Amino acid sequence: MLPLAIRKLITAWFCVIALGANISVAQTWQVNLQQADIGVFIQQVSKMTGKSFIIDPRVKGKVSVISSQELNEEAVYHLLLSVLRVHGFAAVETPDGVKVVPQNIAKQSGVDFDSQGIAAGGLLVTRMIPVKQATASELVPILRPLIPQYGHLAAVDSVNALIISDHADNIRELESLIERLDNSNEGAVRVIGLNHAWANDILDLLTELNSGSAGPEKQSSSAILSTKVIADDRTNRMVLKGEAEEIESLVHLIQQLDTPTKSSSRLSVIPLRYADAPKTAELISGLMGANGLTEGSANQTIYVKADEDLNALVIRANPNVLVDIQSVLKELDVPRAQVLVEAIIAEVTMDDAEAFGFQWLFGDVSDSSSPVFGTNFNAAGNSITEIATGIATGRPTLSNGLTAAGIRFNSNGDLNLAGILQAIESNSNANLLSTPKIMTLDNQTSKILVGETRPFQTGGYADSSSNAFVTTTREDIGLTLEVTPHINAGDEVRMEVLQIVEAASAEPSSLGTITTKREISTTVIAGNRRTIVLGGLIEDNVIEVQQKVPLLGDLPVIGALFRSTSHENQKKNLLVFIRPTILRSQQDMQQVTDDKFNAFRSIEISQGFPLTRPEALNDRFDAPYTVAQ
C-alpha cells in the first residue's frame, strides 16, 4: 500500500491530465426547449455551429426540443434540420448561407445539386440517379407516390436517368429502392435464329399462349411469365431475356414450333401509301429475281404482282425473303417532296417615231397636156399626189400628225400649185408581266399552258368546178411552262425548264396568222426559295429614213423644202426569272396554299368583290361561290 502523500500526488497528476483533455475535446450542448420561438432556436444554433441562416419571413411558430445527451456542432445542425422538417420548413444550402423557407416554395429557392450524395439528411437537394437495366420512365409511376408534394421527380430518356428533388435522407432511401428495381430487370439474354418459321408468327403464338386469346393486332413484344420476348424481323430471330430456367423452356418450345411446312412460301398483301405499285413491283422483281424465277439452294420461287386498283403488292416468298422485301419497301414507300415552281416573265417594249417633210406640186393637174412638177415623199405620211387627188375630188384623206398646206387654183378653179408640210411624233410603251406557277412532285414532269387555240392554214385546193377549200390545223398559243424538278441532298433543286411565250401578231399576212415566240429551254440549279434568272433579251433597233431631191435637198436652209426625214427607235427588254420552293410536309403545303389564297382574297376585296365565306379555304369547296351584294 502506497503512502498517502504519494497517492495524493498521483491523483493530482491525473486531474491535470484530465483537465488538459477537456481543453482539447470539442464543445457539446444539451438542448431542451419548451414552446420556444423557432427564430430564437435558429439563432442559438447559428451561435453553436457558426453557420449563417437566411430566414424567410413566413417561417414562424413555436418548437419544443428535448435532448438527454450532449450534442456536438454537427448533431445540433442535424437536430435543427429535423425540427424544420417536422414543422413544414426546408433548409437549402447556398453560397451565402442556409436558406430557411416553407417547403411548398423550396423548389423556387435554388435547390442545391448534390452530385456526390454527401449532403446532410435534412437538406433539400437535387440528385441525378442513373438507371442501368430498367427504363427510367417506367420507374416514375412507381416512385411518384413516395415523393412529397414539395419534391420533384422526372425521367430523362436521353440518358436513362431520374432527376429527384427531396430531402437528402429520402433520396438515399429512394436510391436503394431504385437499385433493387434496376437489378430485378437483369437476366440472361438468348438469341434464337429461326430456319423455317417466321419470327412474328412465333411471337403471336407465344402471346396467345400467355394471354389465352389472340389479339387483333400484331404485337412487337410479349411478356411470357417474367421473360421478355422480342421478334427481330430483319434477321428473323427471337430475342429472349429473363430467368435462365424460363428461357430454356421457351427455347425448347420455339424449336418445336420452328419446323418446315408443306409449303415453304408465304403469301402476303402489302398496301402502298405513296409509291406506285406497278413501278415498285418492277423494281422488286428485278432486285429479287422474282416473277417465277428460282432463287437460292432451297429452290425458292418468288412472285411479285401489282394491284393498280388498290395500289398494293401481292408477294409470295419465304419468310426470310419476305422480310428483306418489307425492309426495302419501308424505305421506298415514303412521301415524296413537292416543289412549287414560280416563274416571272417581264417584257418592256418602247417605240419612238418622228417624221418631218415638205412636199410641193406645180402644174395644172386637170389638164393632161400641161406638164406637172413636184416632189413626192411618203416618209412623213401621205404622198402629195394622194392629198392633191383628194382635194381635187373633194374627199381629202390625211395621215396622222400635223398637215399644213398652201394651195393655189387657176381661173378655172383647177389646182396648179400646192405646198404641204407634214410632221408627226409617236411614242408607244408596252409592259408584259406574267407569273405562271405550277406544283409538282419531285422528279415528276409537269406543264401549265395559259392561252388560246388558233386555226392555222396548212394548204388549199381548187378543182375544175371552182370548188375551193383550205385545210387548217389548230395550235395552242400562249404561255407554256414545263419543268421537271430534282431535289438533291443539299436542299437545292435541279430543274429542266422549258419556257415558251407565244402570241399572235396584229400584222396581217396572206399566208395566215403571224406569231411572235420567245422560248427558253435549259437546265439550272437553284436553292430552296432562291430566285435565279433563266435568260433575257435586250434589243435596240434604230431606223432612220431620209428622202430628198438631189442637190436641192442638200442646200442650207431652203434644202428642208426638198426633203423628208423619218426616225424610228424600237427598244425591247425581256427577262425570265424562276424560283423553286420545296414542300416536304403537309404543313408546308398548307402554308403556301393559305398565302396564295389570302393574296387572291385581297385582290377581290380591293376590287369591291369580298367573299361571303372567307373563314377557311376548305369552305370554298363545301359551299357555292357567292359574291357579296
Least Cα distance to 452 among 480, 487, 486, 493 occurs for 480
| Mean predicted confidence (pLDDT) in 321-343 | 86
Grid cell at residue 592: 403556301
Q: What pLDDT score was predicted for residue 482? A: 93
Does residue 288 surpass a pLDDT of 80? no
Please tell us whether the domain made up of 187-207+227-261 is placed in CATH 1.10.1740.10.
no
* 360 pLDDT higher than 60: yes
Q: Which CATH number applies to 266-290+300-334?
A: 3.30.1370.120
**What are 133-161's pLDDT values in tens digits?**
777 887 888 787 888 777 778 888 877 88
pLDDT digits (tens, 9 = 90+) for 208-246: 877 654 444 444 444 445 678 888 876 778 888 877 778
Q: Which residues of 150-164 are buried (b: 16+ CB within 10 A; e: fewer)?
A: bbebebeeeeebbeb
Q: Which CATH number fits domain 32-182: 3.40.430.10, 3.40.50.300, 3.20.20.70, 3.55.50.30?
A: 3.55.50.30
- What pLDDT shows up at residue 628? 40
Same fold, 187-207+227-261 and 266-290+300-334: yes
Mean residue pLDDT of the chain comes to 75
**Per-residue pLDDT at 493:** 92
Mean pLDDT of 69-79: 78
Cβ-proximal residues to 79 (8 Å cutoff; 6+ apart), any chain: 31, 45, 65, 67, 71
> Cell numbers of 556, please?
442650207
pTM for this entry: 0.47
**Helical pair 244-257 and 199-211, crossing angle rounded to 10 deg:** 120
Burial class (CB in 10 A: 0-12, 13-18, 19+), 558: exposed
Q: Which residue in this structure is represented by grid cell 424567410?
A: 56
Q: Which of 33-37, 60-64, 176-180, 365-369 has the lowest mean pLDDT?
A: 365-369
The set of cell numbers assigned to 398 is 390625211
Q: Where are the domains of the chain?
A: 32-182, 187-207+227-261, 266-290+300-334, 336-457+470-583
pLDDT band at residue 580, thresholds of 50, 70 and 90?
A: very high
Note whether 92 and 110 are within 8 A (CB): yes
* pLDDT tens, position by position, 387-410: 666 655 655 566 666 676 666 666
Q: Which of 142, 226, 126 is nearest to 185 (CA)?
A: 226
Edge to edge, what strands does the sheet with 237-242 contain?
188-193, 237-242, 227-232, 221-224
Tell me the percentage of the chain whose pLDDT exceeds 70.
72
pLDDT for the residue numbered 16: 38
Give me the mean pLDDT over the 574-596 stretch.
Answer: 87
Read off the pLDDT band of 57 (50, 70, 90): confident
CB neighbours of residue 604 within 10 Å: 14
Cell of 365: 393637174
| Helix axis angle, 319-332 to 277-288, nearest 10° | 130
20 pLDDT more than 60:
no
CB 112 within 8 A of CB 127: no
pLDDT of residue 589: 85
**Which residues have a Cβ under 8 Å from the Cβ of 247 and sit 6 or more positions away?**
187, 188, 190, 227, 240, 241
Structural contact between residues 124 and 165, judged by C-beta atoms closer than 8 angstroms: yes
Smallest CA-to-CA distance from 572 within 391, 431, 441, 369 is with: 431
Q: Mean of the pLDDT values across residues 438-455?
A: 88
Residue 107 confidence (pLDDT) above 70: no
Looking at residue 405, what is its pLDDT?
Answer: 63
Query: Per-residue DSSP letters for 30-57?
Result: --EEEEEEHHHHHHHHHHHH---EEE-T
pLDDT for the residue 218:
43
* Sheet with 515-527: strands ordered across: 446-462, 468-487, 492-504, 515-527
